Amino acid sequence: MEKNITPKYTNREITIVWQPSVCIHSTICWKQATGLPAVFNSKERPWIKPTEASSAEIEAQVKKCPSGALTYYYDNGGGK
Residue number with CB closer to ligand SF4 (45 or 77): 45
Q: Which residues are registered as beta bridge partners of 16? A: 9, 72
Q: Residue 38, interface with ligand SF4 (CB under 6 A)?
A: no
Q: CA-CA distance, 20 to 11, in Å (whole number)?
A: 20
Q: Which stretch binds ligand SF4 (CB under 6 A): 3-11, 48-56, 67-75?
A: 67-75
23 belongs to the binding site for ligand SF4 (CB under 6 A): yes
CB neighbour list of residue 70: distance below 8 Å, 6 or more residues apart? 16, 17, 18, 23, 29, 61, 62
Contact residues: ligand SF4, CB under 6 A: 23-29, 65-67, 69-70
